[in-house]
Amino acid sequence: MLTILETSGEKKEIDNYSLAIDNDNCSGRQIYDLKASHIVSHCKLSPEPKGVKLSRNKKVLLIIAAVWVVGSYIVFTGLSSTGKTVSMVDKPAPDFSIGLYSGENVRLSDFIGKKSVVLNFWASWCPPCRDEAPAFSRVSTTYKDRVEFIGVVSNDSQKKAEAFMDEFDIDYENGQDMGNRISKKYNITGIPETFFIDIDGNIVEHWIGPIDEQGLIDQTNNIL
């Protein structure tokens, strides 16, 4: 189960990981894989500004505000009053439309019955996203005839996102998640997160945090 570790020490179970705040890692979170006993980085959806000095009182106020925002976000993106959310794995993937940087628009449902889909949520300012980018570049090229890779860019500019894509030679379709509409549909808690969707439109796996090349190959094979 995914367990949120509150500042009070209370735990809230969600899925197969344990979540803890880590201000030294992407100003975000770390996911503790309880099965594999390892840590994977996981960034908040919004980057935090650097180089700004704040007074102690302002820091306290910001911490209180951050706790309130995070709590509100959890409530409105799927947690019930018991602190649990329903897993999306083995269920139909929520349909969505996205405007691609290429100028076209696609819907997830366009691929049902035609291709499996790897749906990756990312941003150029996210260090763990950079860690997994080379693997996505190589694996997407290998599977391009059988699997549709789609990148969903969160809280980023098109200019920075396209520079990131050029840097890592990513040539599959990517588009902007306007207003985090798609992220909300998929209950995204941070980035990167990746969904592996089979040809029938069902979610086979939800991967939280960066994925290495072998993991990406294995999970992609699982949806063929």
CATH number of the domain at 183, please: 3.40.30.10
- Residue 87 pLDDT: 83
User: Residue 92 domain-assigned?
Assistant: no
Pair 7, 60 in one domain:
yes
CB 89 within 8 A of CB 204: yes
User: Residue 82 domain-assigned?
Assistant: no
Instruction: Taking residues 40-46, report their average pLDDT.
Output: 68
> Whole domain around residue 33: which residue ranges?
3-76
Instruction: Taking residues 31-50, report their average pLDDT.
Output: 52
- Residue 64 pLDDT: 65
Q: Is the peptide bond before 134 cis (omega within 30 degrees of 0)?
A: no
User: Residue 88 domain-assigned?
Assistant: no
Pair 192, 108 in one domain:
yes
Distance CA 165, CA 201 (A): 26
Q: Which residue has the higher pLDDT, 127 or 10?
A: 127
Pair 211, 105 in one domain:
yes
* pLDDT of 99 strictly over 70: yes
- Residue 74 pLDDT: 42
pLDDT, the chain, mean: 78
User: Residue 48 domain-assigned?
Assistant: yes
- Residue 140 pLDDT: 98
User: Residue 87 domain-assigned?
Assistant: no
SS3 for 101? coil
Residue of 179, 174, 178, 148 lying closest to 161 (CA atoms): 174
User: Residue 91 domain-assigned?
Assistant: no
- Tens of pLDDT, residue by residue over 185-205, are 999 999 999 999 999 999 999
Pair 50, 147 in one domain:
no
Mean pLDDT check: name the lowest of 12-16, 39-43, 91-95, 176-180. 12-16
Pair 114, 200 in one domain:
yes
- Tens of pLDDT, residue by residue over 134-190, are 999 999 999 999 999 999 999 999 999 999 999 999 999 999 999 999 999 999 999
Pair 64, 101 in one domain:
no
Pair 122, 56 in one domain:
no
Pair 134, 178 in one domain:
yes
At 45, the pLDDT band (50, 70, 90 cuts) reads: confident
H helix and E strand count, the chain:
5, 12
* pLDDT of 33 strictly over 60: no
Q: In which order are the strands placed within the sheet that holds 193-197? A: 173-176, 147-153, 116-122, 193-197, 203-208
- How many structural domains comprise the chain? 2
* Contact residues for 26 (Cβ-Cβ < 8 A; gap 6+): 41, 42, 43, 44, 126, 127, 128
Max mean pLDDT among 16-20, 79-83, 166-170 falls in 166-170
* pLDDT of 54 strictly over 90: no
At 43, the pLDDT band (50, 70, 90 cuts) reads: confident
Pair 104, 41 in one domain:
no
- Tens of pLDDT, residue by residue over 144-154, are 999 999 999 99
